[in-house]
């Protein structure tokens, strides 16, 4: 069977006719690129607006009894300019009039937001000469808005089998009552992944405005090396890094069907980007795949003699956090010690209450709080097979004079997480990078 690629283009790739012309060249360059998923037009330049934001704004203005003609006009002008500049005719004016009518007569927020993708898919399908296949009725949610994986897969697979080449709008689907429902923001990535699964694609290409992932944040490390291949599990461990490039929920459908995701750059189409795969066979030639991190965590360290003999101690401590609705990021522990690491924003208002409650109810020998902690994850499938990796990492931090406040190593031996003071965050990342990445 011939190769099939699903290609998804994000907002900046479809922002105007110039970008869409680049996109067409990318699609035409490879006959395997048969199914195209699009976002709504994003920003054309710094300070510009995303169409989706403008659509939400229209709805918000109407809810506050402010007219939305002007904002809607701006949206309409963008689509009409795209239609004219691409030289196609797809009744954009009639489409826009119909949407405006629905908008002012109480069309739902999700319906209005979804029209960004809908209109773009229509005009772009005409430009490519591909079929337009609406996501409505094919991408399915239950009455509570939860995505229905299997039902969607069945319906999409059956419909797409009838189309040799098609453009499908991202971001939305339908509820059982036929109303439009959207994924969360950035959700066209998810549509791309479910289309890839439905057509059993060989690869899911996700085209954006960066050439994949880099081994570290380029604002911290100068010219970090690109990551050419990364496994799904490594990416999950590096989630602080990947989140801004790919919607986290897009991973699961592709992973379930074992379809690699290739992150590519519309403005640099020759760059091979990063491929996310299930497994990489054979040993890795690199010890680490990437480093990522985030500032502003809090650690609460509890020491209690013979903690390990006291049945249910850890559960009781955690229940205090649960009662304040605080989610926990990491839980490194020793025989008589336990550290709880959480995002500062979740405990800002309740930290002293939590500490007081633990002291009062569970009488630890010692409880210490460190605020302003940064977490740094050093991740690599090559780490597990190489003894001495942690020694190397800790040595690099010691050489740089950085005090380690917390250590947590995942059971897969694929990641080492260290907590350092917020102030040491950048230096720590630089020290780890230069220790492991040599020319
Ligand atoms: N247009 C939607 C958003 O701005 C969905 C997407 O682009 O993926 O969030």
- Domain containing residue 393: CATH number: 3.30.2130.10
The reply to whether 270 and 296 lie within a common domain is no
Taking a C-beta distance cutoff of 8 angstroms, is the pair 227, 437 a contact? no
Q: Is 170 in the pocket of ligand 1 (CB under 6 A)?
A: yes
Does residue 401 carry a pLDDT above 60?
Answer: yes
Tokens of 152: 């969607």
Does residue 410 carry a pLDDT above 80?
Answer: no
d(CA 371, CA 341): 10
What is the whole-number distance in angstroms between the Cα of residue 117 and the centre of ligand 1? 8
Taking a C-beta distance cutoff of 8 angstroms, is the pair 259, 204 a contact? yes
Which of 52, 173, 248 should be mutated for ligand 1, with most atoms under 8 A from CB? 52
Range of the domain at 215: 5-277
In the sheet with 406-409, reading across from the earlier edge strand, the strands are 337-343, 290-303, 366-379, 415-421, 406-409
The reply to whether 253 and 296 lie within a common domain is no
For residue 176, tell me if it sits in a domain.
yes
Mean pLDDT is lowest, of 36-40, 149-153, 330-334, for 330-334
What is the whole-number distance in angstroms between the Cα of residue 343 and the centre of ligand 1? 26
The reply to whether 256 and 353 lie within a common domain is no
In the block, tokens 């801004």 appear at 244
- Which residue among 256, 277, 298 closes a domain? 277
Q: Is 59 in the pocket of ligand 1 (CB under 6 A)?
A: no
Neighbours of 272 (CB within 10 A): 14
| 39-82 tens-digit pLDDT | 999 999 999 999 999 999 999 999 999 999 999 999 999 999 99
Does residue 240 carry a pLDDT above 70?
Answer: no
The reply to whether 264 and 331 lie within a common domain is no
| 289-329 tens-digit pLDDT | 999 999 999 999 999 998 878 889 999 999 999 999 999 98
Q: Is 116 in the pocket of ligand 1 (CB under 6 A)?
A: yes
Ligand 1 atom 5: residue of nearest CA: 186
Does residue 137 carry a pLDDT above 90?
Answer: yes
Element of type H or E holding 290 = strand 290-303
For residue 284, tell me if it sits in a domain.
no
Handedness of CA 13, 113, 254, 247 (dihedral sign): positive
DSSP 194: H
Does residue 281 carry a pLDDT above 80?
Answer: no
Q: Is 194 in the pocket of ligand 1 (CB under 6 A)?
A: no
The reply to whether 270 and 353 lie within a common domain is no
Question: Comparing C-alpha atoms, which of 124, 179, 180 is closest to residue 8?
Answer: 124
- DSSP, collapsed to helix, strand or coil, labels residue 372 as strand
pLDDT at 315: 93
Ligand 1 atom 1: residue of nearest CA: 40
Does residue 188 carry a pLDDT above 80?
Answer: yes
Which of 12, 188, 189, 192 should be mutated for ligand 1, with most atoms under 8 A from CB? 188
Handedness of CA 202, 207, 212, 217 (dihedral sign): negative
Residues 6+ apart with CB under 8 A from 125: 131, 132, 166, 167
Tokens of 264: 């590519």
Mean pLDDT is lowest, of 196-205, 323-332, 426-435, for 323-332
What's the structural domain count of the chain? 2
Ligand 1 atom 6: residue of nearest CA: 186
Q: Is 171 in the pocket of ligand 1 (CB under 6 A)?
A: yes
Nearest-10 crossing angle of helices 92-104, 109-128:
180
- Domain containing residue 58: CATH number: 3.40.1160.10
Does residue 244 carry a pLDDT above 80?
Answer: no
Query: Considering the chain, what percentage of its residues have pLDDT values greater than 70?
Result: 97
Residues 6+ apart with CB under 8 A from 401: none
DSSP 226: B
The confidence band for 349, taking pLDDT boundaries of 50, 70 and 90, is very high
Question: Comparing C-alpha atoms, which of 271, 267, 256, 221 is closest to residue 241?
Answer: 221
Mean pLDDT, residues 119-128 taken together: 98
Does residue 383 carry a pLDDT above 80?
Answer: yes
What is the whole-number distance in angstroms between the Cα of residue 186 and the centre of ligand 1? 4
The reply to whether 253 and 313 lie within a common domain is no
pLDDT at 386: 82
Average confidence score pLDDT of the chain: 93
pLDDT at 242: 55
The reply to whether 235 and 296 lie within a common domain is no
What is the whole-number distance in angstroms between the Cα of residue 23 and the centre of ligand 1? 17
């Amino acid at each position: 069977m011939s190769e099939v690629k699903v290609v998804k283009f994000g907002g900046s790739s479809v922002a105007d006719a110039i970008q869409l012309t680049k996109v067409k060249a990318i699609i035409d360059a490879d006959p395997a690129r048969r199914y195209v998923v699009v976002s709504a037009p994003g920003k054309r330049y710094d300070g510009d607006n995303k169409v989706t934001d403008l659509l939400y704004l229209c709805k918000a203005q109407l809810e506050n009894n402010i007219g939305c003609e002007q904002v809607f006009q701006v949206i309409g002008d963008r689509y009409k300019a795209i239609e004219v500049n691409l030289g196609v005719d797809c009744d954009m004016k009639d489409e826009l009039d119909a949407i405006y009518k629905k908008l002012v007569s109480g069309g739902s927020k999700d319906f209005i937001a979804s029209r960004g993708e809908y209109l773009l898919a229509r005009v772009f399908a005409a430009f490519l000469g591909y079929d337009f296949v609406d996501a409505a009725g094919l991408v399915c949610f239950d009455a509570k808005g939860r995505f229905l994986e299997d039902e969607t897969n069945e319906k999409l697979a059956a419909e797409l089998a009838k189309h040799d080449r098609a453009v499908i709008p991202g971001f939305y689907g339908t509820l059982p009552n036929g109303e439009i429902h959207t994924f969360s923001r950035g959700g066209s990535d998810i549509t791309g992944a479910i289309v890839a699964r439905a057509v059993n694609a060989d690869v899911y290409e996700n085209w954006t405005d960066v050439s994949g992932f880099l081994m570290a944040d380029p604002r911290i490390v100068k010219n970090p090396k690109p990551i050419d291949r990364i496994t799904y599990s490594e990416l999950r461990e590096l989630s602080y890094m990947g989140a801004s490039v790919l919607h986290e929920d897009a991973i699961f459908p592709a992973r379930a069907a074992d379809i690699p995701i290739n992150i590519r750059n519309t403005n640099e189409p020759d760059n091979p980007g990063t491929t996310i795969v299930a497994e990489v066979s054979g040993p890795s030639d690199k010890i680490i795949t990437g480093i990522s991190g985030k500032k502003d965590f809090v650690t609460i360290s509890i020491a209690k003699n013979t903690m390990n003999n006291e049945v249910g101690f850890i559960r009781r401590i955690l229940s205090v956090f649960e009662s304040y609705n605080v989610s926990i990021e990491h839980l490194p522990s020793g025989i008589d010690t336990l550290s709880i690491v959480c995002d500062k924003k979740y405990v800002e208002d309740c930290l002293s209450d939590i500490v007081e409650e633990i002291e009062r109810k569970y009488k630890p020998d010692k409880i210490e709080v460190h605020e302003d902690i940064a977490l740094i994850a050093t991740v690599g499938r090559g780490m597990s097979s190489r003894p001495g990796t942690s020694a190397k990492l800790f040595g690099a931090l010691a050489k740089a004079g950085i005090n380690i406040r917390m250590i947590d190593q995942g059971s897969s031996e694929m990641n080492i997480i260290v907590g350092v003071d917020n102030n040491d965050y950048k230096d720590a990342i630089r020290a780890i990078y230069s220790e492991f990445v040599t020319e």
